[in-house]
Amino acid sequence: MMILKTNSLPLPLLRIIRDKGTEYPFTGEYNDLDIPGTYLCRQCGIALFRAETKFHSGCGWPSFDQDIPGKVQRLPDADGKRTEILCQRCHAHLGHVFEGERMTPLNTRHCVNSLSLDFVADLEVEDTEEAIFAAGCFWGVEYYFKRLPGVLKVEVGYTGGYKDNPSYEEICSGETGHFEAIRVVYDPKKVNFEKITKFFFEIHDPTQADGQGPDIGEQYLSVIFYYEKTQQQIAHALITQLKNKGLPVETQVKPVSPFWPAEEYHQDYYQKTGKMPYCHHYVKRFDD
């Protein structure tokens, strides 16, 4: 099932993906990345390029001499001079393609905006889906989700509030309406939304109404953000199951809204520091 992530994309991404803008050269997250994996469409999650086809062109944007067959569309650009490339499935703007430069034996350079892409360290993934959860301090939620088989990427950030591009200090003030949250990219051939949502309920206390553990405040509340009706229905069905078991679940279910990645020092926090989660632990709550 294709999930379009447009409603969760902040304005800087929409200016590229929807409005066909271009990010400044040498500023993109993936310009210098050189590790094995796969580059996905940021809007729909389908695999577009394998890292083995990436090369350093010196142009300031990620460059690939080959796409995954059938996944990238070419169209004459509005300027009448260049060839635009888009995601074949959702038509997200990626960048432009150039030929005849003799930079690689394939003589082709797909020049792609980093903001149009997601990267996962998986060599074979073909398609992905996405979920967004809030369950207290995002360090601990990220720690557990990164260990769930089938999960390809976990990014911590802020969502659900009123201010564009909020900082951690602004979130902590409690005046932006945002929640600390995680964005989970997963392989639907290996895990589904129901299973990861069950996991969400099992790594935090969904009955706490004022935060999570010792972290008190609106930014630490338990929330499931849904992209479409099926995710919403699954979330409510699981809450009903837990309430039928006698758990007074306080988890909210909300539609997705722009997800703003947190500052770099928050990403992979426990891996960087060697510490362990202090308010999250696993408790089995479902029979299967």
Residues 257 and 137 in one domain: yes
Predicted local distance difference test score (pLDDT) of residue 114: 98
Same domain for 221 and 196: yes
Whether residues 140 and 210 share a domain: the answer is yes
| Same domain as 256, residue 181 | yes
Is residue 111 part of the annotated active site? The answer reads yes
Backbone angles phi, psi at 86, to 5 degrees: -135, 160
Q: Is 41 a catalytic residue?
A: no
Residues 111 and 174 in one domain: no
Q: Which of 41, 44, 90, 111 is catalytic?
A: 111
209 shares its domain with 192: yes
Same domain for 242 and 268: yes
**Domain count of the fold of the chain:** 2
Q: Is the dihedral of CA 110, 125, 272, 115 positive or negative?
A: positive
Across the chain, which has 288 residues, the per-10-residue mean pLDDT values are 91 96 96 97 98 96 97 92 96 97 96 98 98 96 96 97 93 91 98 98 97 93 97 98 97 97 91 87 91
pTM, two decimal places: 0.95
- Give the whole-angstrom CA distance, residue 105 versus residue 53: 11
Domain membership of residue 261 as a residue range: 129-273
Predicted pLDDT at 250: 98
Q: What is the CATH number of the domain that holds 135?
A: 3.30.1060.10
Q: Which one of the listed residues 44, 87, 137, 279 is annotated catalytic?
A: 137
Closest CA to 111 of 128, 96, 129, 122: 96
- CATH code (residue 52): 2.170.150.20
Q: Domain for residue 103, yes or no?
A: yes
Residues 227, 105, single domain; the answer is no
Q: What is the pLDDT of residue 211?
A: 94
